[in-house]
A and B are shown apart, each in its own frame.
Chain A
């Protein structure tokens, strides 16, 4: 009897969702689901990455992503090192490259990186031999967030094929939106975007998405809404007059959702600004999958770490 080989990813690093194949996304989601089962056990730990060293390199503040990665790594029995740098490497006097080279000299296998500059994960692949996982690079990509969102939606709806997903909020400054667009489109979902024009990249329609500026036009036509956080710290210019006005015209409220023919599944990458982009009653409703996303965030990251960490040396 021949043994079925374990499926392997075609990618050596997870830098983003752009250009990741349907096959690879499916494998990551399936693997994530199998680790969800591990998380339900009394002993939530497996020895899969025993002996592997992973550095969480966070140049930008993060709570849930960093904790989710750290939990995922520890539950796979990896040795974990956390590196948090506030501000830029340049402002600290040491270059980013030198920082990485120093860390790498300590013999590490994987780097999970978050940085405010788009392209840093790719830059890392050029200066390091470690396997790189992007935990968010500026407003570029946040692939593990997209994967956990897709995992949550697939769990709820059974498939992503033909699913109608709306993404609402500050699309211009959102790495979550971009990764979700790439991933959902690859998996056959129909993506609609909604937000003020000031928060909508001018050329976004070329990615094959529909763009709306009135949330009431979107709600009747979607199965799920991914509500983005209004990220005040990223808004370099004044892109909207006030939180109140944003809430009035773009906020996802119970009253608005009642216009839908059937209940809409609500996702949010967190943290939530209650009664700005989402009302408290929606965030806490039975159709809100926000906390479910958090659990899936650990599971899908375990899946990704497992798949990349056991793949062998990256090219």
Chain B
């Protein structure tokens, strides 16, 4: 294995060290040895020509579903991490809605060990179930889960509906500095809905999920956070009123954060007219008004994180009648392209802001080690070709599943590769 790499003439952007310059980075044995415009190298140094390429602190996707254990026909930890690497992520946090749910130290350890064995360049940080079996009834063994290495608590896929339980999760989790990640959905309002409640659901005769299902739970949770403190993160927000709730909560200096997904800021419920089951996700695709406000929230910093909510499902599961199809789409390999196309090219975000949301903030929320592009630091990079125009072809995805509404989309911006834990993986 080559232990020396020179990332030559890269556009290094690091929000933490406030770096934004064209320079070269020499890495030896996994650590940054030198940063300079011109670096002479030894014969055995592998030189990566980064002319026109952005080199950023390794991206961390804090909302993913690796499906193992239990749903290996959709994805395994190995295929998931291969997909994450191909999409430019050096770290992922995976949700606990596996089978069994991640509510024991043994399952946390199983995921970590499988990850180490499969794609060691991508680090995996398990998120543990907030309640036993994700049933929303009893606290999971939070201390034991924290000790085993869980980085957050969530019943994602489902909300924790019971308000008292939310309070207790925040209180107990705060002893171990574990944020509670809520899937904000009032099930009594969402009912059997499969798409956004709006004009489109009316014309399609579809059971619909009103925006209230998200905002009522978010508003309630924010009040609980205000009362008990604790660290709260709202997953995949989708409606404009949610962004205002977060804005107000942040004004009060509450310990809250939130994320959006690329599909929620790139698509609207108009897409559902196709009845393509790859437009079925939870929360559902909303309206252009919502997309516009998500973009404002991303720009003004109300939204801290962009996460893919990578949710693989097999072809057979998705190739069914719309109401029977499972919610969710794969996301690792289109995230950067959608961010560049929809956020950078439109000047919604600067590169620094985007890197904050894809790298710095997720690590901060999950209390992970900071990544700095500085001499002496561990080398952990994502390389992005921001000018590359490409057409999404789901068949080329490394993910085991291909359920994406972005197939055949023309995007600008693609991951070129990652470097982490002494390994360089080039994207395909």
Contact = CB atoms under 8 A, between A and B. Distances in A.
Contact of B192 (A119, A204, A236): A236
A73 interface: no
Contact of B191 (A115, A138, A175, A236): A236
Interface in B366-384: none
A139 B316 contact: no
Contacts of B203: 18, 178, 207
Contacts of A141: 205
A contact patch SS: loop
B contact patch SS: loop
Interface string B69-100: 00000000000000000000000000000000
A116 B323 contact: yes
B248 interface: no
B205 A88 contact: no
Interface of A: 18, 88-90, 95-97, 115-120, 122-123, 137-141, 175, 178, 201-204, 206-207, 236-237
A204 B324 CA distance: 25
5 contacts: A118-B204, A138-B206, A139-B207, A202-B198, A203-B199
Interface in B349-376: none
B322 A118 contact: yes
B269 to A, nearest CB: 11
A119 B321 contact: yes
B322 A117 contact: yes
A97 B323 contact: no
B320 interface: yes
B426 interface: no
Interface string B161-201: 00000000000000000000000000000011000011101
A115 B321 contact: yes
Contact of A90 (B201, B205, B320): B320
A97 B192 CA distance: 23
Contacts of B323: 116-118, 138
A263 to B, nearest CB: 32
Interface in B261-319: 275, 316, 319
A116 B198 CA distance: 20
A95 B316 contact: yes
B3 interface: no
Given A97-B319, A118-B204, A119-B204, 19 more contacts: A18-B203, A88-B321, A89-B321, A90-B321, A90-B324, A95-B319, A95-B320, A117-B323, A119-B275, A123-B275, A137-B205, A178-B205, A201-B201, A201-B202, A202-B198, A203-B199, A203-B201, A203-B202, A204-B202
What 3 pairs between A and B have smallest CB-CB spacing? A119-B275, A140-B205, A139-B205
